[in-house]
Homo-oligomer: A and B are copies of this chain.
Amino acid sequence: MAKKVLRAGGAKRKAEGKLRLSEFARALLREWNKLHLPLDARAVIAVSGGADSLALLLGVNELIGAKKLKLKIFVAHLDHGLRKETSRADARWVASLGKQLGYVVISRRVNVAAQASKTGDNLEQVARRARYKFLAEVAQNRRAEILLTAHTMDDQAETILLNLLRGTGMDGLAGIDAVRPMEKGSKLLLARPLLSWARRKDTESYCRLRAFEFRVDEMNANEKFARVRVRRQLLPLMESFNPKITEGLARTAELLREDSEALTGAATRLIELANGSGEKKSGRKGSLSLSLDLLSQAQPALRRRALRQWIRECRGDLRRVERIHILAVESLLFGNRGGRTIELPGGSKISRKSGLLQFVPGPRSAHLLRTGSVKPA
């Protein structure tokens, strides 16, 4: 009935591809333009089978049908091997969905639990890393320009609260990016076109509107996961203070993201200025040494942020580098003794020497650190 009304409304607009778009698809298209995503591209869409990723796939499908987007779609599905029977069933379901819509489906099964118990890392972290590694590989193999994930505003609110509960600064409170390069300098864009407007209930009702069933992950009801407890206990309590708390948190994240970008920009300029005379090592970005003078005159928060950025550039990542290490490196700037050295986790060092801070790579490579079994403090 509703469908007929829509068709009747669309009839005035002439022929095929001009049918009235659903509200969901229109919102998706607005966000697509706001994020300046390409209208004509090869795109990988991560599909778990839940309502969010199904709605994203169907929304993109609707926009392609209406000739608003011209995308070559690849559906990517990672089976984390966490729920023996159901996770295989999910994979089969995504495969048949792809067939029905006419899209290529790339699916892989990994044993996340085994990996986690080997490295001692947190299960959710291992799962996330495995997922993005898989998605990046699919995108590379298929020469895709964009990789889409179906994070919603609810995911954003949950992420911000989880970061707040764990203890975080501005970057944690800025939550999930709506769009960013997959890695620094990479051409592949990682985009979340539902993040800043879609609520979980919107994705569910759009799936129903399109008459597609979605899979329900029973882990979403398992309160041993902090994220599930945030969703089922903390957010409802916060809603009793402010019914629009999810939107409010997303708004806060947006403001902090802006501020964070402004500070990161200022820190990058500070590093560039302090980079001056240092030796360059080919293959790495930036310099392995920084002039003390400019750093010591900068504002503390800016200086610390610049030191973090510089260490990440020199070292490859910031895993296990805590604030205490940054403060120790900062103290080198103001120490009176001539030569002092701070050792970072994993063995790399930073020394103060003849007016410069110098980064000395450690004996263990970044790759070893990445799979090391020592957990951050």
Contact = CB atoms under 8 A, between A and B. Distances in A.
Interface of A: 164-170, 173, 226, 229-230, 233-234, 237-238, 241-242, 244-245, 248-249, 251-252, 255-256, 258-263, 265-266, 299-302, 304-305
24 contacts: A164-B248, A165-B238, A165-B241, A165-B248, A166-B248, A167-B244, A167-B248, A169-B252, A169-B255, A169-B256, A170-B256, A170-B259, A229-B241, A230-B241, A234-B241, A237-B237, A259-B260, A259-B301, A259-B305, A261-B301, A262-B263, A262-B266, A262-B305, A266-B266
Contact of A226 (B241, B299, B301): B241
Counted per complex, copies of this chain come to 2
Contacts of A261: 299, 301
Contacts of A230: 241
Nearest to A170: B259
A221 to B, nearest CB: 18
Contacts of A226: 241
Nearest to A172: B252
A245 B165 contact: yes
A261 to B, nearest CB: 6
A293 B305 CA distance: 28
A157 to B, nearest CB: 11
A265 to B, nearest CB: 5
Q: In this complex, which of A230, A249, A302 has the most chain B Cβ atoms within 10 angstroms of its Cβ?
A: A302
Nearest to A164: B252
Contacts of A170: 170, 255-256, 259
Contacts of A169: 252, 255-256, 259
Given A233-B237, A241-B229, A299 B255 contact: no
Given A173-B173, A226-B241, A258 B300 contact: yes
Task: Output the residue of A173, A259, A301 with the most chain B CB within 10 A.
Answer: A259
A167 B252 CA distance: 6
Nearest to A162: B241
Contacts of A249: 164
Contacts of A238: 165, 234
A299 B167 contact: no
Nearest to A168: B252
A301 B251 CA distance: 14
Nearest to A166: B242
A165 B242 contact: yes
A301 B242 CA distance: 26
A301 B241 CA distance: 29
Contacts of A299: 261-262, 265
Nearest to A238: B165
Contacts of A167: 242, 244, 248, 251-252
Contacts of A164: 164, 248-249, 252
A302 B245 contact: no
A143 to B, nearest CB: 33
Contacts of A165: 238, 241-242, 245, 248
Contacts of A255: 169-170
A267 to B, nearest CB: 9
Nearest to A251: B167
A170 B230 CA distance: 22
A233 B238 CA distance: 10
A255 B266 CA distance: 17
A234 to B, nearest CB: 6
9 smallest A-B Cβ distances: which pairs? A262-B301, A258-B301, A169-B255, A167-B248, A262-B302, A262-B299, A165-B241, A259-B301, A165-B242
